[in-house]
Amino acid sequence: MPQTKDKSPGSHRAWLATLAGVLAVAVLLAWAVLNTRQGDRQAQGLFLNTLKKGDVVAAMRIDLLKAVEAEKSAVLADTDQASQEYADMARQATQAVEDRRQEFQKLLQAEPSPEEGKLAEEFARAWSEFRKVDQEILQLAVQNTNLKAASLSQGQVRQALDSLEQALERLRAREAQSPQAVRINNLACRALTAGLKALSLQAPHINEASDQGMDRLEAEMAAQEETLRQALASLEALVSPAARPDLDAARQACQRFSELSREVVKLSRQNSNVKSLELSLGQKRRVAAQCQEILGALREAIQSRGFKATR
């Protein structure tokens, strides 16, 4: 008899069980493949995020250095134009750091890291202090009040004193044969000496940082100017009518000298260059170093995390 296929219920169930097993294995394989692909995509995304964060932090460090160097150049510049140009460069570099800081925050939100987040917060605090002192320095640097005071002192103030000297020399020459010639010479020398002493005190005043020091120098300048005025007043009763025009010229030069000297003191009192330099070398230097240190630690944290992610 020809053999017939076994169509019993038991063999049918066995066939179904085998098919179910094959399908289960296929499902498991498909799940594994999908999980592997998803894991690869996640790893790739983490890797790209890490690279991007590293690049951003590196750029922040470079822009921070640019901001510091431009600020120092603004402080040390010897003209208003140069100070303003460097100040603008410093502000641009500072804004670049801020833009990149915000970019880093977005990258950190996409791939959070407790260590990187802590360092980012530390940098934000230091960076806030940096920007505050930087703004103060740049506002002072572009005023250049100490430089302007020095220029005025060595320019117009000295010219006024030269005019005083020339007027007194003419007066002495006219009165050379006068019975009062000796007294006239002494008073003229006293007036000129007092003027020179007052002028010599302006440079220390311009460089002085403390209010107490400037107060002391101003008192000395005022005393010398008073000696100058008294000497000219004493000449009034001694000179002949022919020497009156020279004495009037000396008085006018003295008046101009005093007015310009007050302007020098006013500019010097603002002390913008001295204050900006002190801030630049003191507080700004400290906080800039702190910012760089935090960014360096952040860069190391990013690299360490990226290395672990690729293992």
From CA 52, how far away is CA 307, in angstroms rounded? 14
From CA 31, how far away is CA 290, in angstroms rounded? 50
From CA 289, how far away is CA 126, in angstroms rounded? 10
Q: Other CB atoms closer than 10 Å to residue 281's CB: what's the count?
A: 12
- Residue by residue, DSSP assigns 194-233 as HHHHHHHTHHHHHH--SHHHHHHHHHHHHHHHHHHHHHHH
The closest alpha carbon to 280, from 147, 133, 67, 139, belongs to 133
- Residue 76 confidence (pLDDT): 93
**What is the mean pLDDT of the segment spanning 193-200?**
97
Per-residue confidence band for 152, with pLDDT thresholds at 50, 70 and 90: very high
From CA 70, how far away is CA 23, in angstroms rounded? 70
Query: How many angstroms separate the first and last alpha carbons of the chain?
Result: 68
- Residue 72 confidence (pLDDT): 96
Q: What does the pLDDT look like over 219-228, one tens digit per residue?
A: 999 999 999 9
**How many CA atoms within 13 Å lie on the side-chain side of 23?**
6
**What is the mean pLDDT of the segment spanning 173-201?**
96
Q: What does the pLDDT look like over 165-174, one tens digit per residue?
A: 999 999 999 9
No. of helices (H) and no. of strands (E), the chain: 11, 0
Q: For each of the domains in the chain, give its residue range(s) and CATH number, in order of start.
A: 20-142+276-310 (1.20.120.1730), 147-270 (1.20.1440)
Q: What does the pLDDT look like over 203-220, one tens digit per residue?
A: 999 999 999 999 999 999
**What is the mean pLDDT of the segment spanning 75-87?**
94
- Residue 48 confidence (pLDDT): 81
- Residue 27 confidence (pLDDT): 41
State the pTM of this model: 0.73
